[in-house]
Structure 1
């Protein structure tokens, strides 16, 4: 299983940026030209469950490995 930090890296390289705020355990990312937002929960060092990886893939339109 990969860490949240590793999974977040790929959307950031595609141009997604983290929205400010969010004092909860969730991070939201927005893209300058793509619609929608990507939401990732948990700390950066946490393992990301497969279901959340698939959700990030669907929201971002990326294939995460």
Structure 2
């Protein structure tokens, strides 16, 4: 499993057609069609393995 920060994940999601809808605190809310995805961004800190896996699966990256 690779390590990735929230910023890096957002870049991948944007490449797959996800759009940044809004930012609420440290969470970037991405939307695509009727789906919503909340990606935590804490500088360049890597996301946890389980969270990264779940977000990638929900975002259609896996």
Q: How does the TM-score come out when normalised to structure 1?
A: 0.73
- What does 1:1-65 align with in structure 2 at a 5 Å threshold? 1-22=3-24, 24-31=25-32, 33=33, 35-63=34-62
| Aligned residues: CA RMSD | 1.6
More strand by share: 2
Q: Residues 37 and 59 of structure 1 are in contact (CA less than 8 Å); yes or no, is this contact kept in structure 2?
A: no
Q: Which runs of 5+ in 2 are unaligned?
A: none
Structure 1: distance between partners of 2:15 and 2:7: 13
User: CA 1:15–1:44 in structure 2 vs 1: closer, same or farther (change >3 Å)?
Assistant: farther
> Number of paired residues?
60
Q: How does the TM-score come out when normalised to structure 2?
A: 0.75
Q: Which runs of 5+ in 1 are unaligned?
A: none
